[in-house]
């Protein structure tokens, strides 16, 4: 799987650098079959999402590696993940940074992921059951945030929980439509800008994300002629509808 991922990621505009090497090394060490149900273990390394129960899936490793790369992670970072799902994305993050906080709205998935992460020795990953739209304020601020469901607005609470200089990546756009994988940056003086990293399909963020919020704009910051406008996927791989890790927010 790792041998296939490297050229696919490079074709999608990812640099073949030390950051990519660290991500692929982490993926190569993790037993992906440990994160999927027993009846899916034969397909654990397939290049497609797999069902993990409760109408949710584990995203394919290409999407997970791509989103991780775009966060520009450092070993000292504290990261928030919205949508634990199987726990595999949290395990990748936990292999790269000092601390990971991850939120899952389905209690059974949160409990299962926490068990698997403990068995893998990832004591630096904390799992919470809840609606991720509001984030994890008592653990903030975060250096990076990763969201694995389509959002019609950049969640204001998540922006507030980003440290100055922090980054957030999320699929952004209308419900049940083609989305832009969007990188959000918060400058040292608190200004927020967004840039597009390509096209993808994810199912929508649910829960509080779908409630109208007076005064909350659908887009925070301004769209840039982005630094990461490369296609999200190699041209031979069309955009897919991703359910993502714990997509039902």
Which residue numbers are catalytic? 59
CA distances from 59 to 127, 172, 203 (A): 18, 17, 12
Task: Indicate the angle between helix axes 18-29 and 2-11, nearest 10 degrees.
Answer: 150
Q: What's 94's DSSP letter?
A: H
Give all strands (DSSP E) within 23-138, no chain letters: 50-53, 56-58, 78-82, 99-104, 125-129
Dig out the tokens for 209 from the structure: 């994300």
Report whether 57 contacts 50 (CB < 8 A): yes
Dig out the tokens for 162 from the structure: 């980003």
Three-point CA angle 206, 130, 178, nearest 5°: 25
Quick one: the chain helix, strand, coil %, rounded to 5? 30, 25, 45
Radius of gyration of the chain from its Cα atoms, rounded to whole angstroms: 16
Count CA within 13 A, CB hemisphere, residue 92.
32
Which of 109, 104, 120 is CA-nearest to residue 27? 120
């Amino acid at each position: 799987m790792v041998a296939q991922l490297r050229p696919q990621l490079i074709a999608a505009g990812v640099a073949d650098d030390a950051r990519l090497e660290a991500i692929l090394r982490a993926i190569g060490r993790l037993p992906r079959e440990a994160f999927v149900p027993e009846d899916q273990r034969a397909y654990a390394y397939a290049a497609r999402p797999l069902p993990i129960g409760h109408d949710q899936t584990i995203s394919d490793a290409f999407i997970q590696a791509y989103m991780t790369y775009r966060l520009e992670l450092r070993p000292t970072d504290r990261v928030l993940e919205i949508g634990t799902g199987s726990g595999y994305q949290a395990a990748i993050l936990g292999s790269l940074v000092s601390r990971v906080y991850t939120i899952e709205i389905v209690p059974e998935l949160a409990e299962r992921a926490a068990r698997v992460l403990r068995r893998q020795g990832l004591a630096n990953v904390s799992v919470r059951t809840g609606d991720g739209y509001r984030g994890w304020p008592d653990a903030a601020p975060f250096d990076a945030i990763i969201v694995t469901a389509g959002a019609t607005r950049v969640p204001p609470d998540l922006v507030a929980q980003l440290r100055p200089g922090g980054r957030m990546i999320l699929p952004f756009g209308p419900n049940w439509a083609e989305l832009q994988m969007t990188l959000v940056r918060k400058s040292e003086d608190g200004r927020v800008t967004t840039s597009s990293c390509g096209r993808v399909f994810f199912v929508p963020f649910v829960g509080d994300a779908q409630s109208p919020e007076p005064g909350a704009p659908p887009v925070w910051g301004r769209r840039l002629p982005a630094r990461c406008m490369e296609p999200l996927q190699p041209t031979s791989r069309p955009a897919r509808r991703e359910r993502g890790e714990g997509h039902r927010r």
